[in-house]
Structure 1
Amino acid sequence: MQFTRRHTLKFAGISCAATALAGALKAEGGTPAANAAPTLPFAVTTPMHIGQAALRVRDLDPMIDYYRSVLGMNEVGRTARGVTLGVGSVPLLDLVHKPAADFESPTSAGLFHIAYLMPSRKDLARWLVHAALRQVPLSGFADHNVSEAVYLNDPEGNGIEVYSDRPKDAWVWSGRVVKMGTEPLDVDNLVALTDTKTDHYEVAPAGMRIGHIHLRVGEIAAARGFYEQAVGLQPTQDARSDASFLSSGGYHHHLAVNSWNSRGAKERNAMETGLDWFSITVRNPDDLEAQKTRLRAAGYVLVEMENDMVEAIDPWGTRLRLVPG
Structure 2
Amino acid sequence: MPVQVQTKQEFVIHPAAALGYVHLTTADLDRQITFYQSVLGFKLHWKKDATAGLGAGRDDLLRLTELRGAGRVRGTTGLYHFAVLVPTRWELAHLLRRVVDTHAHIQGMVNHYTHLAIYIPDAEGNGIELAWDFPREQWPEAAELVRLGNGPLDPEELLGELERDLSPWTGANPDTRIGHVHLHVADLDAAGRFYQDVLGFQATFLYSHRAERLEGCGGTGAPA
Other structure's SS at 2:163 match: coil
Q: Is the 8 A contact 2:113 2:145 kept in 1?
A: no
1:242 Cα deviation from its structure 2 partner: 5.4
1:80 Cα deviation from its structure 2 partner: 2.0
Question: Structure 1: which amino acid aligns with 2:107?
Answer: S
Q: 257-266 or 144-153, which moves further after superposition? A: 257-266
Identity across the alignment (%): 31
Deviations 1:142-172 (A, max 9, x none): 0111000101101111001101001111112
**Partners of 1:28 and 1:75 in 2: how far apart?**
38
Q: How does 1:1-325 map to 2 (within 5 A)?
A: 47-101=16-70, 103-174=71-142, 181-195=149-163, 200-238=168-206, 240=208, 243=211, 258-263=214-219, 264-267=221-224
Other structure's SS at 1:172 match: coil
1:138 Cα deviation from its structure 2 partner: 1.1
Question: Structure 2: which amino acid aligns with 1:265?
Answer: A
**Partners of 1:210 and 1:171 in 2: how far apart?**
20
Relative contact order, higher structure (CA 8 A, sep 6+): 2
Deviations 1:184-211 (A, max 9, x none): 1122221111139x89433101111110
**Partners of 1:95 and 1:127 in 2: how far apart?**
21
Deviations 1:110-169 (A, max 9, x none): 110011001011111122122222322211100111000101101111001101001111
Q: How many residues align?
A: 211
Deviations 1:199-246 (A, max 9, x none): 9433101111110111111110111011123212222221628529xx
Other structure's SS at 1:49 match: coil
51 and 86 in structure 1: CA distance in 2 versus 1, 3 angstrom threshold: same
RMSD, aligned CA: 2.7
Question: Structure 2: which amino acid aligns with 1:146?
Answer: T
Q: Is the 8 A contact 1:28 1:144 kept in 2?
A: no
**Partners of 2:178 and 2:88 in 1: how far apart?**
14
**Larger radius of gyration between Structure 1 and Structure 2:** 1
Deviations 1:57-85 (A, max 9, x none): 00111110000000011111222231111
Other structure's SS at 1:67 match: helix
Other structure's SS at 2:97 match: helix
**Partners of 1:106 and 1:100 in 2: how far apart?**
15
Alignment match, 1:252: none
* Structure 2: gaps spanning 5 or more residues: 4-14
201 and 136 in structure 1: CA distance in 2 versus 1, 3 angstrom threshold: farther
* Structure with more of its chain in helix, by fraction: 2
